[in-house]
Amino acid sequence: MISIVKADELDIRRREETGSPEEERMVREVIRHVQHKGDTALAAYTRRFDKVEVTETLVSAVEMEDAYQQVEPAFINALQTAAAKIRAYHERQKRTSWMETETDGTVLGQLVLPLERVGVYVPGGRAAYPSTVLMTVIPAQVAGVEEVVITTPPQADGKIDATTLVAAREAGVERIFKVGGAQAIAALAFGTETIPRVDKICGPGNRYVTLAKRLVYGQVDIDMIAGPSEIVVIADDSADAAWVAADLLSQAEHDPMASAVLLTPSQTLAAAVTRELISQCERLPRREIAAQSLREHGAIAITVDVAEAVATANRLAPEHLQLMVEDPWSWVGQVRHAGALFLGHWSPEALGDYVAGPSHVLPTNGTARFSSPLGVDDFTKKTSLIAASRDMIQRDGQTVVTLAEAEGLSAHAASIRVRLEKEDTHG
Ligand SMILES: NC(=O)c1ccc[n+]([C@@H]2O[C@H](COP(=O)([O-])OP(=O)(O)OC[C@H]3O[C@@H](n4cnc5c(N)ncnc54)[C@H](O)[C@@H]3O)[C@@H](O)[C@H]2O)c1
Ligand SMILES: N[C@H](CO)Cc1c[nH]c[nH+]1
Ligand SMILES: [Zn+2]
């Protein structure tokens, strides 16, 4: 079910996640086709990949009403509770524009401006992810984005999962489009007759989605590579084996490509967690997915001590890292690379998936070395502001002239000289 390996043999990066050369060729073709044929191409790819006929891509008001009929009030309450906590967390990430007046009267500053329109991809192949709607849309709204549109794959009946629709409406999204995979990413990047072109595409997805996001980057911005889920748990004898196994399974059940790894200096814990994984997995409705994930991408490594476990986790740069050890806070300073860090026995990763507050859209496949969790910054951009005074021109003008002439750019130098030579008539 799960192999015991040496810590230095571990590698959670999955080459399949980035797609084979044939898949990349196919995704390029999908993008090119959608760019040139718009909605006609979308319908054809939905027929081919989702095996369903979708005549109206935009979710209608009637479909939204139907969705509300299908969900329990408790689900709506839970969405609202989670949304409030996610909003409160992201409010704290907000940055403001700033301006400062120098002694010579020059004003320098930076404007922080929201993106105008963002496209969120909500995965919908193997499972519906209403929580992902909240985790992407709310940070965008807090940033001040004018419009967020959603694309998500249709189910076999041609409709969108009701929980996803209700989450979108609760989050205040007006336009939801029934299209998934690479074709959805292409539509958001280039626009079609019905889907508007956006400035940035966010959200996780399978390898076709991820490949397409990479390929359209430059045409639009993208958030990051957020693919199949990953968890690394570092645990010592203070941990309860049943809790460790439950936490590993919580990510393994996402996808056969998900990765769940335990690093422990305790042989006893490793053996107990292995037993727990077997018995708990059997009881899961998604046991086949979880078992495949543990078999193909899961591992337990016995480390010399917690320090070696932390060093190994840094090398893996996992999406989620749980520290279920005696004194988790004492290790925080040693953690260099992880999308999200969960400290102590009472911080299971599932809390972060739904309600803690930070977005659960996190860098995967080792990209936590250089990428950050999705947040308000992803939905803003900055503009530098310069309002120079005459004194600044007088003081620094010659520096510009010297540097411009060194670069052979005499027109640059001239644009300063005309001001240096000017009588003070412009204040
Ligand atoms: N990192 C995160 O925050 C996060 C959150 C939620 C989900 N996830 C991950 O997102 C992924 C979702 O994947 P999914 O597949 O369930 O849903 P998905 O929505 O990403 O992909 C489904 C789409 O893929 C396309 N497709 C399927 N087979 C294809 C093929 N052979 N060729 C071309 N296109 C094809 C179809 O058009 C379909 O609509 C999972 O790996 C899950 O773990 C990550
Ligand atoms: N764990 C996933 C991110 O890796 C997010 C998620 C959504 N729903 C449950 N979990
Ligand atoms: Zn999860």
Distances (CA, A) of 94 to 99, 113, 152, 188, 204: 17, 11, 28, 26, 23
Question: Any binding-site annotation on 90?
Answer: no
Query: How far apart (Å, rounded) are the C-alpha atoms in residues 160 and 422?
Result: 66
Distance from Cα 121 to the centre of ligand 1, integer Å: 10
Predicted local confidence at residue 62, as pLDDT: 97
pLDDT confidence of residue 427: 54
Give the Å distance between the CA of 228 and the centre of ligand 3. Answer: 10
**Contact 364 CB / ligand 1 (< 6 Å):** yes
Nearest to 247 by CA among 308, 188, 316, 294: 294
Candidate from 14, 360, 362 with most ligand 2 atoms within 8 A of CB, to mutate? 360
CB-based contacts of 83-87 (< 8 A; 24+ apart in sequence)? 83/134, 83/138, 83/170, 83/171, 85/355, 85/356, 85/357, 86/134, 86/135, 86/138, 86/139, 86/357, 86/359, 87/138, 87/141, 87/142
Q: How far, in Å, is the centroid of ligand 2 from the Cα of 230?
A: 9
Residue 361 CB less than 6 A away from ligand 1: yes
Q: Which atom of ligand 2 is nearest to the CA of 229?
A: 4
Copy the structure tokens of residue 270. Answer: 């490793």
User: Angle formed by the axes of helices 287-297 and 267-282, to 10°?
Assistant: 150
How confident is the model over 373-389, as pLDDT tens digits? 999 999 999 999 999 99
Catalytic residues: 319-320
Looking at residue 224, its pLDDT comes to 87
206 appears as a binding residue in the annotation: yes
How far from the centroid of its chain's Cα atoms is residue 197's Cα?
A: 20
Pocket lining: 259 vs ligand 2, CB cutoff 6 Å: no
Predicted complex: ipTM over 0.90: yes
The 10s digit of each residue's pLDDT in 207-219 is: 899 999 999 999 9
Place of tokens 């409705």: 285
Asked if residue 155 belongs to a known ligand binding site, the reply is: no
Query: How many other CB atoms are there within 10 angstroms of residue 423's CB atom?
Result: 5
365 Cβ closer than 6 Å to some ligand 1 atom = no
Whether 226 lines ligand 1, by a CB cut-off of 6 Å, is: yes
Asked if residues 194 and 128 have their Cβ atoms less than 8 Å apart, the reply is no
Residues of the chain with pLDDT under 70: 14-18, 423-427
412 is in an annotated binding site: yes
pLDDT at 74: 98
Domains and CATH numbers, the chain: 3-15+228-371 (3.40.50.1980), 38-224 (3.40.50.1980), 388-420 (no CATH)
What are the backbone dihedrals phi and psi of residue 10, each rounded to the nearest 5 degrees, phi first?
Answer: -70, 140
Q: How big is the chain by its Cα radius of gyration, in Å?
A: 26
